[in-house]
Amino acid sequence: MKAEADPNMIVYFNNEYVPMREARVGILTHALHYGTGVFEGIRAYWEEDEQELFVLRAREHYERWKQNCEILRINVPLETDELCAVTAELMRRNGFRSNLYVRPIAYKSAERIGVATDDQDAFAIVALPFGEYLHADKGLHVGISSWRRIEDNAIPARGKICGAYANSALATDDARRAGFDEAILLNENGQVAEGATCNLFMARAGKLITPAVTDNVLEGLTRDSVMELATRELGVEVVERSIDRSELYVCDELFLTGTAVGLAPVTRVDHRPVREGAIGPLTRRLQELYFQATRGHLPAYRKWLLPVYRDAHAARTAETQQSVA
């Protein structure tokens, strides 16, 4: 799905809440030419029964973002708590009551020619309504890309660096034109790294296996959530190790994880069915658990959720009580 933005929607830009149509960058902006930005992708889910919007793992996303910004020496002047507060305020100002995607982006903002960086940095946060990213109800068909995943010593994949996404765009474009739903990239060692926009897990002999964080992957937060759910809730052992391409052809189950895709089952790889070509039982169970945890249905995982409306309501009530007293 492509998320189209309403130009009147409020975004956070240059330390202010402004309508999207006013949030513009110049044609010579360093990041536009050289890819010197770092972004994040965060989900928020609307829970009708509680009339609440839950931002998923907001703190961890902002901590990762600030760390990754340091790779490019981009300064984000707000603390993690302040970034969470801005995000929730953005949602309230827009009055959002649906599933959302949040896109924080920090970048080298000098407007001039020349690749050398300086300390002119800027950042913005945009939140917008967003449905399903990949339609995975019946399982996805993925293809191994002829493009290789970028190496850590070229552009670190763990950095979520704007320029690195040319690699994902090339692989996605090829995959879609060839009729696949998503590309799987191998690293320069010829082993499986990840999808163009997501991490990968396979099940073999009752264990879940995912490439190690040193295999040129983004250290996904959904990956982390799924590992916790698998171990704690299902007692399934999760192994982080390199995966051969041909293991994908003989594995028992396969799925992708990411903030945008959630947990998406894969039922075919390179025109070969994964087992019987149906969604596997472990994948289904994890999909259910992930859904419940991210919608606030599992008390043990409320720790992952930032409620947008309740806290503001409680703060307003406390203020009113104070002024009455």
Ligand X SMILES: Cc1ncc(COP(=O)(O)O)c(C=O)c1O
What track of x and - describes contact with ligand X for positions 50 through 89 (by CB under 6 A)? Answer: ----------------------------------------
| Least spacing, CB of residue 76 vs ligand X, in Å | 17
Residue 39 vs 309, nearer CB to ligand X: 39
Q: Would you say 142 and 269 are in contact if contact means Cβ atoms under 8 Å apart?
A: yes
Q: What's 157-213 look like in SS3? A: HHHCEHHHHHHHHHHHHHHHHCCCCEEEEECCCCEEEEECCCEEEEEECCEEEECCC
Q: Which of 74, 218, 266, 269 binds ligand X (CB under 6 A)?
A: 218
Q: Which stretch binds ligand X (CB under 6 A): 8-16, 193-201, 247-255, 284-292?
A: 193-201
Q: Can 66 be counted among the known catalytic residues?
A: no
The size of the chain, in residues, is 325
User: Residue 60: is it exposed, middle or buried by C-beta count within 10 angstroms (0-12/13-18/19+)?
Assistant: middle
| Least spacing, CB of residue 208 vs ligand X, in Å | 15
Q: Would you say 39 and 260 are in contact if contact means Cβ atoms under 8 Å apart?
A: no
Cα separation, 16 vs 247, whole angstroms: 50
- With CB under 6 A as the rule, give the number of residues binding ligand X: 14
Q: Which of residues 168-187 bind ligand X (CB under 6 A)?
A: 168
Q: Which of 68, 172, 191, 222 binds ligand X (CB under 6 A)?
A: 222
DSSP 3-state of 273 = strand
- The reply on whether position 198 binds ligand X by CB under 6 A is yes
Residue 110 vs 143, nearer CB to ligand X: 143
Cα separation, 95 vs 194, whole angstroms: 36
**2, 66, 160, 303: the active-site residue:** 160
- The reply on whether position 287 binds ligand X by CB under 6 A is no
Q: Which stretch binds ligand X (CB under 6 A): 82-90, 208-216, 217-225, 280-288?
A: 217-225
- The reply on whether position 258 binds ligand X by CB under 6 A is yes
State the chain's maximal CA–CA distance in angstroms: 70
- The reply on whether position 221 binds ligand X by CB under 6 A is yes
Q: Which stretch binds ligand X (CB under 6 A): 23-31, 66-74, 221-229, 275-283?
A: 221-229
- The reply on whether position 41 binds ligand X by CB under 6 A is yes
List, in sequence order, every residue forming a beta bridge with 253; answer none if it has no partner.
203
Q: Which of residues 151-170 bind ligand X (CB under 6 A)?
A: 168
Looking up tokens 């296996």 gives 209
Exposure pattern of 280-292 as b/e (b: 16+ CB <10 Å)? bebbeebbebbee
Q: Which of 181, 182, 194, 253 binds ligand X (CB under 6 A)?
A: 194
DSSP 3-state of 119 = coil
- The reply on whether position 223 binds ligand X by CB under 6 A is yes
Can you read off the two tokens belonging to residue 68? 């990754």
Nearest to 118 by CA among 105, 130, 108, 133: 108
Q: Which stretch binds ligand X (CB under 6 A): 84-92, 117-125, 172-180, 257-265?
A: 257-265
Interface residues with ligand X (CB under 6 A) are 41, 168, 194, 197-199, 218, 220-223, 257-259
Catalytic residues: 160
